[in-house]
Amino acid sequence: MDSGGKSQVNIPAGSEWRFEVDFSQELTIKVVSGVVEINGTELPNNFDLKFKGVKLSIFCYQDSIIEYYGTFSSEYVSDESVVPQYVALHFALQNFRNKAATNNNLNAPRVLVIGGKDSGKTTLSKVLVSYAVKMDSFPMVVNLDPQEGVYTMPGALSATVVNDVLDVEQGWGQSILSGASAFHPTQPAVTYYGYDHINSNPSYYRYNIQKLASVVDKRLENDEMVRQTGVIIDTPALTNKDSSLIEEIVEAFSVNLIIVLGNERLFIDLKKTFSEKIYESLDGQKQFFNVLKFSKSGGCVDKDDAFIRARQQSLIKQYFYGDRKQVLSPYTITSIDYSRLSVYRIVESNKVNTTSATDNSENLDASSVLPIGMDAEEKALLEELEQSKADAAVMSASTVKKEQEKEEVPISEAPAEPEAIVTDGELIEKLEPESSSLQNAVIAFVHADIDEPMTKVLDSGVLCFGYISDANDLKKKLSVLLPVQGNLPNKTIVFGGFRYVD
């Protein structure tokens, strides 16, 4: 759809203007009058903003006029909005922060936002982060959804302290891992999961959650401003089937407030699960804990696989080349000998099931998705067995790490056997470089030297990302695109399922 030149839309106070723009389209908007915001970030008046590949809504606090032109898929004004509920939640959290600042026995808000697919989890997370920044606070945003790249690449989990307004055109903004920025650059802590579905390797996903939670705890322990503000945790699509994972996240990040979006059954089940922990007073006699439910916004729209893939490819391209506001110049290193590399592949232990919990299948008839000849009771036993295997893999990794610390053995001298226990065919595996695995792969350089053991690789965060543009098995050489000019990092390479064609 083409606007056919400049057009204007009048939006009443308390209403939203919702629009969708495909990746092949571009829409330019300008606020002519009024006070409006996108995901909690106020838009300046008389300033052009360009959008491509987005599904957004603009909320108006006053009667407003917005001028727009370009191409888009759809646009309309709705008088229904959940923003007033989000504003009330923000002020409740701010009161929570004020109480915690004067009471050492009370932790600041650590909010877990959960819900089904396309239920508005990321939108609510952005709103709460934006409002906290307006109050001169320093919220830490934790992204546990590998489909999204929050201040980093898709496939990564991250924890970032936000101290500036969000970039509404880009989504979140830039970081030192994703190039120069017109805003204050952030410095995220990043672990690389390597796939966009948590079902691709549940054991490694849980391992990364524990690793990221440890980093978050250290930052909160050493940064008073962040500790007094708290944490906002965004998640992938989760339903009742993921209750054990939700409990693990709550435990790992010391969550004290769970927000459930648009899923009444999940809300009730979690209230029962955490009934013994729930304590709704801020008197400091016990740690506050509660589970709340919010309605799903009418502005939430389904994002199909094609849109998600296009978004991911766009984020990968932005990492290396920047965007229209900040053009970057990546650097290609050619003729790198295979012998110089230490390469690990993140194992894809489970093929993604399109009818899994991550696709909101709770309303399906259970018997319609059972394997032939298997009844519901047998399927439940099978799922319990698979979950036990996943839990055992994580526990074995944790056991190895504790034993190493207990015996105070230098990690470089650790015996080979524990590496097999840590991975157990479930986490990562070392590979000899070859084109069939590495061609067009998005790779992560981690903080582990090429001669360090697998346990060190598992526990290392991400230094930077690269892209293998060419791998030649005959010459045993490859070419790597890096975000900045320089030598190839003498670090271990980890890769998963993400590919990119330049």
Q: Which CATH class is domain 83-294?
A: alpha beta
The answer to whether the beta carbons of residues 96 and 108 sit under 8 Å apart is yes
State both tokens at 205: 């996903």
How would CATH label the architecture of 7-81? Answer: Sandwich (2.60)
pTM of the predicted structure, to 2 decimals: 0.82
8 Å CB contact between 206 and 186: no
- Output the six-digit token pair for 467: 């892209």
Which segments of the chain belong to CATH 2.60.120.1030? 7-81
Is 121 one of the annotated binding-site residues?
A: yes
Model pLDDT for residues 186-242, shown as the tens digit of each residue: 788 999 999 999 999 999 999 999 999 999 999 999 999 999 999 999 999 999 999
Tens of pLDDT along 316-325?
998 898 887 7
Give residue 441's pLDDT band: very low, low, confident or very high (50, 70, 90).
Answer: very high
Task: Indicate the DSSP class of residue 285.
Answer: S
Residue 330 and residue 344: Cα distance in Å, rounded?
Answer: 24
Q: How far apart are CA 413 and CA 290, in angstroms?
A: 46
Confidence of residue 304 (pLDDT cuts 50, 70, 90): confident
Query: pLDDT for 109-167, tens place per residue?
Result: 999 999 999 889 999 999 999 999 999 999 999 999 999 888 899 999 999 999 888 88
118 is in an annotated binding site: yes
**491 vs 383, residue with greater confidence:** 491
- Residue-level pLDDT at 185: 62
pLDDT exceeds 50 at position 393? no
Q: Is 211 assigned a ligand-binding role in the annotation?
A: no
pLDDT for the residue numbered 1:
64
How far apart CA 322 and CA 315 sit, in angstroms, is 9
Please check the confidence at residue 402 and state whether its pLDDT lies above 50: no
55 is in an annotated binding site: yes
Select from 34, 24, 29 the least CA-distant residue to 1.
Answer: 24
Residue 399 confidence (pLDDT) above 50: no
pLDDT at 398: 47
Query: Is the CB of residue 325 less than 8 Å from the CB of residue 182?
Result: yes
Range name among 171-185, 249-263, 318-332, 358-372 with the lowest pLDDT average:
358-372
Nearest alpha-carbon partner for 93 in 134, 145, 147, 143: 134
> Which position has the token pair 């500790």?
227
Residue 406 annotated as binding? no
Is the pLDDT score of 175 beyond 70?
A: no
pLDDT confidence tier of residue 440, bands split at 50, 70 and 90 = very high
β-pair partners for 28? 50, 69
Q: Has residue 326 got a pLDDT over 90?
A: no
In the chain, ranges of CATH 3.40.50.300 domains: 83-294
Q: What distance in Å separates the CA atoms of residue 124 and residue 180, rounded to the nearest whole number?
A: 27
pLDDT confidence bin for 376, thresholds 50/70/90: very low
Spatial distance between the Cα atoms of 230 and 94, rounded to a whole number of angstroms: 10
User: Considering only 64-68, 125-129, 396-400, which range has the smallest mean pLDDT?
Assistant: 396-400
At 184 the pLDDT is 59
- String of DSSP letters for 108-138: PPEEEEEESTTSSHHHHHHHHHHHHHHTT--
pLDDT at 345: 95
- Answer for the pair 213, 100: CB distance below 8 angstroms, yes or no: no
List the one residue out of 287, 38, 255 whose CA is nearest residue 144: 255
The rounded distance, in Å, linking the Cα atoms of 249 and 365 is 29
pLDDT tier at 183, thresholds 50, 70, 90: low
DSSP state of 258: E
Determine the straight-line distance between the first and last CA of the chain, rounded to whole angstroms. 29
In angstroms, rounded to a whole number, what is the distance separating the alpha carbons of residues 47 and 346? Answer: 45
Provide the pLDDT confidence category of residue 377 given band limits of 50, 70 and 90: very low
Q: How confident is the model at residue 484 (pLDDT cuts 50, 70, 90)?
A: confident
DSSP-H helix ranges across 135-263: 202-222, 224-229, 243-252
pLDDT of residue 169: 87
pLDDT at position 323, please?
80
* Mean pLDDT estimate for the chain: 84
How much of the chain exceeds pLDDT 70, in percent?
Answer: 82
Contact 26, 91 (CB under 8 A): no
State yes or no: pLDDT of 407 exceeds 50.
no
List 449's β-bridge partners, or say none. Answer: 491
pLDDT of residue 486: 84
Rounded to whole angstroms, the Cα distance separating 122 from 297 reads: 12
- Is 120 a known ligand-binding residue? yes
